[in-house]
Chain A
Amino acid sequence: MTTAAATAPTGGFGYRHPRAKLVGLLGAPMAWLVVVYLGSLAALFLTAFWTVDGFTGAVVRTFTLNNFIDVFTTPAYLQVMVRTIGIAISVTLLCLILAVPVAYFMARVAPHRWQPLLIAMILTPLWASYLVKVYAWRAMLNPESGVIAWFLQPLGLGGPGFGAVGIIITLTYLWLPYMVLPVYAGFSRLPNSMLDASADLGARSWRTFRSVIVPMIFPSIVAGSIFTFSLSLGDYITAQIVGGKTQMLGNVVQQNYVTNLPFAAAFATIPVIIVLIYLAAVRRSGALENL
């Protein structure tokens, strides 16, 4: 009889309530992002408008713009800001110069079966502790006993020692994999026929590189630069260990957060704003749409 049709299996709860399924899927990660991530950013931003009691050092919750005025009118702080941005840009450019040939070799020159090994080799440094790597660089950069000074001495040259150059070298080493991997992915996605077509139309290698390869992997370069730039901008431990007297933004925040939390908060919003400006600039270039 027709009753058989009535007992046809129905979909499960998730099938009948697709919205509930979505909430179940994304509820926990969204809660984490909103509360912990955005929440802490909001707290940081809010604190930046408070002040401290001069006697007790306790945070006073009254609205003031003085922290930001201090940050932007004190020459020493402006200098730290400019230096930090300079270091982040240098690190990004150095990573780019090193990563493009390496990634090109990995994706387009090396035999296919080598690729997993090469990727593993690029990733291996990420397995070592950050501190171990930075202290290793401290040992190498040491102007008296470091291996770099030791190599350069016979040539009559002094090593970079501890300072901005040492920071740039160390950060470049630390963040290089974050540039190599997206650029490698970009090169892998580049169809062979594009390079053939360019050669077919009369272009030599350099012309093909400039007119076809670079524009096509530009989104990957931007992706890598977002990592290297923002990671460098926020770093302060490397500056402490290999920077000598050179300070970065993070060092100023660290020195102030016990004694003057609102000022530290105001200072800490600066790299956030710089990264937002950078992302906006990158977005205007259209590179993010192809990520």
Chain B
Amino acid sequence: MESVTIRVRGLSRHFGDVVAVDHVDLDVMPGEFLTLLGPSGSGKTTVLRMIAGFEKPDSGTIELDGVDVTQVPPFARDVNTVFQDYALFPHMSVLTNVEYGLKVKKVTKAERIERARAALASVRLEGYEDRAPSQLSGGQRQRVALARALVNRPKVLLLDEPLGALDLKLREEMQVELKQIQREVGITFVFVTHDQDEALTMSDRIAVFNEGRIAQLGTPAEIYEHPATTFVAGFVGTSNLLDSATAQEVLGRPGTWSVRPEKIRVWVDGQTAPEGHHRLNGTVREVIYAGMSTRFVVDLPSGSSLMAVQQNTETTGELGHLRGQSVCLSWDPAYEYEVSTDH
């Protein structure tokens, strides 16, 4: 048996007239952190719920470690889920919540308590055993939900937008921590999010979902640097597309091309742009100071616009006077990629 933890083939699911998931094929490797990324309604959560067993597919199969589990109910699948709202049982203490899965599986009390305590320690929640979930902060509840799932040592941990309810600072901390926990326990993680930063930060691979299908599957760098479609280019990072007319003029080839904003440099005097760069003239419409960097929105003669981001390494960011000025944009041709315009 080749080692694939989850093998999904031809998975489809519709709700009424809406096709939520449309013939999805997906392989998840052992120990991998795979993120399903997409806007709401793109089918990513439905795929996760079908892997967990909460939804039944209309067609297609799901294999877990080589065993077809398509018709297996959730309680008999060796996967556990961290829910978006955490779904902690409000009438149970933190420890009882974490113990629940072991108790259901008739693990002895002594072992149960020992494992539950160890799981709580692994998410840095020692001393919270007797608290009620309502006495915890959002971040702490999130950790309890994680411990409650991990204590069962599942083959796969499914996470449904688990950081969505946390504020930005806590979310960034938890991103690092989740990744660290995943490395320590070595369990395969399938993580659902609509947040591209989260996906890029944490994942080994990302599956970008659009309209029920996987638009692109690859490592974060592949997805970001080589978006396969206009949708991926726009959803992951800023959509920065050269239309066909501009491409013909600047690159000498037609088609839609993508250049990431941080790859584009802005020159007040076009003569100073490096040799071998592709160059393009435009007018600065907007200058946005963002602390670490400054964003320029530049209107092109063709009517479209490009965004360029410059690190504020040599300026204090007071570049508002450039608004309305003609500038020259340049980038290394190595950073331009043709994208397909079908979704």
User: B83 CB to closest chain A CB, in angstroms?
Assistant: 5
Q: From the candidates A201, A211, A216, name the one contacting B90 in the complex (CB within 8 A).
A: A216
A-contact bits for B47-76, CB 8 A (1 contact / 0 none): 000001110000000000000000001111
Within the assembled complex, what's the spacing in Å between the Cα atoms of A193 and B52?
12
Interface hits, B29-58 → A, CB 8 Å: 52-54
Q: Are A203 and B75 within 8 A (Cβ)?
A: yes
A-contact bits for B82-113, CB 8 A (1 contact / 0 none): 01110101110000000011001100000000
Interface size on B, residues (CB 8 A): 24
Q: Does A80 contact B (CB under 8 A)?
A: no
Q: Which A residues touch B83, using CB under 8 A? A: 193, 196-197
Interface hits, A174-206 → B, CB 8 Å: 191, 193-194, 196-204
Q: Are A200 and B90 within 8 A (Cβ)?
A: no
Q: Which A residues touch B73, using CB under 8 A? A: 199
Q: Does A148 contact B (CB under 8 A)?
A: no
Q: Are B105 and A202 within 8 A (Cβ)?
A: yes
Within the assembled complex, what's the spacing in Å between the Cα atoms of A212 and B87?
11
Given the known A-B contacts A207-B104, A216-B90, are A200 and B74 also in contact in the complex, defined by CB atoms under 8 Å? yes
Q: From the candidates B80, B85, B91, B105, name the one contacting A200 in the complex (CB within 8 A).
A: B80
Within the assembled complex, what's the spacing in Å between the Cα atoms of A119 and B152?
41
14 A-B contact pairs sorted by A residue (CB < 8 Å): A191-B87, A193-B85, A196-B52, A196-B54, A196-B87, A197-B89, A198-B89, A200-B52, A200-B80, A202-B101, A202-B104, A203-B100, A212-B89, A218-B91
Query: Range of interface residues on chain A?
Result: 10 to 19
Q: Are A203 and B104 within 8 A (Cβ)?
A: yes
Q: Are B87 and A215 within 8 A (Cβ)?
A: no
Q: Which B residues touch A194, using CB under 8 A? A: 87, 89
Given the known A-B contacts A193-B85, A196-B83, are A201 and B104 also in contact in the complex, defined by CB atoms under 8 Å? yes
Q: Does B210 contact A (CB under 8 A)?
A: no
Q: Does B283 contact A (CB under 8 A)?
A: no
Within the assembled complex, what's the spacing in Å between the Cα atoms of A207 and B73?
14
Q: Which A residues touch B53, using CB under 8 A? A: 199-200
Q: Are A201 and B91 within 8 A (Cβ)?
A: no
Q: Are A204 and B89 within 8 A (Cβ)?
A: no
Q: Are A211 and B100 within 8 A (Cβ)?
A: yes
B-contact bits for A204-224, CB 8 A (1 contact / 0 none): 100100011001101000000
Which of A202, A203, A207, A218 counts the most B-chain CB atoms under 10 A from its CB? A202
